[in-house]
Amino acid sequence: MLAILIPLHHGAAMTLASKITLARIALVPVFAVYVAKYGLGIAANQPVETQRWIALGIFILASSTDGLDGWIARRFNQKSKFGAFIDPLADKFLLITAIVFLSAFPWDHDDWRIPIWFAWLVVLRDTLIVIGIILVKRQAHLVHYQPHWTGKMCTVTQMVAIGWVMLKVKILPPVYPCAIAAFFTLWSGQRYFLEARRQILASSEI
């Protein structure tokens, strides 16, 4: 998620990869509306299952475009500063929206939803990372970060937790996949913090 905030240059052509990324962002509010509609139906004991499947379909479609825009950017040499900036933001926008809305609205009876504490943890972790980016950029003028497997596991386990709730996997309550995701969320967040601290200290020694 550590991306340098780089604006799109005036007059630069929008690549197909970037258009797909922006389309993913546009799908997020539509997804949120259907999550809310289905959750309100659950609360009123009048759930409309079509709304649940539409929400799930939109989430799967939006998630699949992440790999598609990356492949197009590499295959057709459409890598750009704007694409590198907007792609991770689109991913986080989708994940955080899904986690927050699936914690705010019940997805089944017996309070089947993402625990509110997990939603707060995810939002807090990503907020602190953004603050860290700003601090490193201000101090070191350039952010360097090599993706680590804990960050990938954080994303994967969060996706599993979202899917667990939306697909109503009744083997175990949602708190269990969320607990695993919370572990990697904290671990990867710690790595971001240590790396940001290292870069700030290194820049102050120059």
Give the three-state DSSP class for 7. Answer: coil
Q: pLDDT tens digits for 107-164?
A: 998 899 999 999 999 999 999 888 888 888 787 666 666 677 888 899 999 999 999 9
Are 143 and 118 members of one domain? Answer: yes
96 shares its domain with 31: yes
pLDDT the model gives residue 142: 66
91 plus 130 within the same structural domain: no
Question: Mapping DSSP to helix (H, G, I), strand (E, B) and coil, where does residue 55 land?
Answer: helix
Show the domain range for 93: 15-109
Q: Which residues pair with 108 in a beta bridge?
A: 112
Structure tokens at 198: 């290292």
More confident residue, 87 or 34: 34
- Among residues 86, 49, 45, 51, which one has the least CA distance to residue 65? 86
Residues 140 and 205 occupy one common structural domain: yes
- Are 71 and 46 part of one and the same domain? yes
105 & 27 share domain: yes
| Residue 117 φ then ψ, to 5° | -65, -35
Q: Is 94 left (phi over 0), alpha (psi -120 to 50) or beta?
A: alpha
> How many CB atoms sit inside 10 A of residue 128's CB?
14
Mean pLDDT on 7-11: 44
Task: Indicate the residue among 50, 74, 109 that finishes a domain.
Answer: 109
- What local confidence, expressed as pLDDT, does residue 168 receive? 95
> Is there a single domain that holds both residue 96 and residue 149?
no
Residue 4 lies in a domain: no
Q: Which two tokens stand for residue 115?
A: 């625990």
Number of domains in the chain: 2
Q: How far is CA 96 from CA 33, 74, 126, in A?
A: 14, 26, 9
pLDDT digits (tens, 9 = 90+) for 47-84: 999 999 999 999 999 988 877 777 777 777 767 777 66
Global pTM value: 0.85
90 and 160 co-located in one domain? no
Is residue 29 assigned to a domain?
yes
In the chain, the amino acid numbered 51 is Q
Encoding tokens for residue 76? 């057709």
Q: Average pLDDT, whole number, for the chain? A: 85
**Domain co-membership, 87 together with 157:** no
Answer with the one of 86, 109, 132 that is the final residue of a domain: 109
Mean pLDDT, range 157-175, rounded to an integer: 95
